[in-house]
Amino acid sequence: MPLVVVGSVALDSVETPTDSRANVLGGSAVFFSYAASYFTGVNLVGVVGEDWPDEHTRLLNDRRIDTSGLHVIPGGETFRWRGKYLPNMNDRETLEVHLNVFEEFDPVLPEEYRRGKFLFLANGSPVVQMKVLDQMVAPTLTVADTMDLWIEMQHDELMQLFQRVDGLVLNDAEAKMLTDDENLVRAGHAIRRMGPKFVVIKKGEHGAMFFSEHETYVMPAYPTPDVIDPTGAGDSFAGGMMGYLAEKDTFDPVTLKEAMAYGTLVASFTVEDFSLDRMKNIRREDVDRRMEDYRRMLSF
């Protein structure tokens, strides 16, 4: 079942304690789409400038990612981000941000995208996210991501968005900030009461937490020793989760738990190299083999 994602498409420059890469493929919608493509077709909506390399579009298309919704702005420049990871590889500093064409991003969905059953609103302004919702025709499942900037700058709009989505994905720092509560269990349930039917709190190397009215659980991270570049791990997690749900065409409690596990595993591959370099060298079979290891790890 095709999955629609709306979000950023970027060129990243990343520094880690041991290496660096300049102008590599990045952006929330890109990591999400590539992760989801192991499970289902993806319809991507984003915006880039004239400096966008055609080879990146070909790479996405080869992964059954439809880029009909990727708008190229003549004379414009693609969103660029430059960041540096600290030695613990969990914390990072943003050194430069150039929104460029993404600053005026006003997504218009192709007609066939509007009838998609599964929609993911990658990190972005809640005002823009609601504009996307206005264009959709009765989606079955809508899930959104957010960040500290929107919690601070567009809090009222974010509260409106929460009333219109089925699920919300955010990290632990954002959950604490949104609820002014350091206890993630209380924070998760408090956010759920703000509107979403379920909430997923990402905890980086410590996995993720799930909250619904009837169920709360924690999924540990997969213990990979090869953390090269954590950029895009959270978006890959969301992509794996939503991709699996779209593949199964349901989001019942059992499938949601399996989807959380698949999201965790796809993210574990993402961090093993820069950009999509590790992802480009694995297949669905590799993800399934890691799932077998993960199941054994959680059995006791």
Q: Which string of DSSP letters, residue by residue, matches 26-46?
A: E-HHHHHHHHHTTTS-EEEEE
pLDDT, block means (10 residues), the chain with 300 residues? 92 96 97 98 98 96 96 96 92 92 94 96 94 96 93 95 97 95 97 97 93 95 93 96 97 96 97 97 97 94
The residues near 296 (Cβ < 8 Å, ≥ 6 apart) are: none
Range of the domain at 202: 3-298
235-240-246-252 Cα dihedral, nearest 10 degrees: -100
Number of domains in the chain: 1
CA angle 126–231–235, rounded 5-degree value: 45
- The residue type of 264 is T
pLDDT at residue 1 in the model: 66
CATH of residue 29's domain is 3.40.1190.20
pLDDT at residue 91 in the model: 85
Which residues face 119 on adjacent strands? Answer: 4, 142
pLDDT at residue 204 in the model: 86
Q: How many other CB atoms sit within 10 Å of the CB of residue 22?
A: 10
Q: How many other CB atoms sit within 10 Å of the CB of residue 70?
A: 20
- The residue type of 1 is M
CA distances from 164 to 121, 131, 157, 245, 294 (A): 12, 12, 11, 19, 34
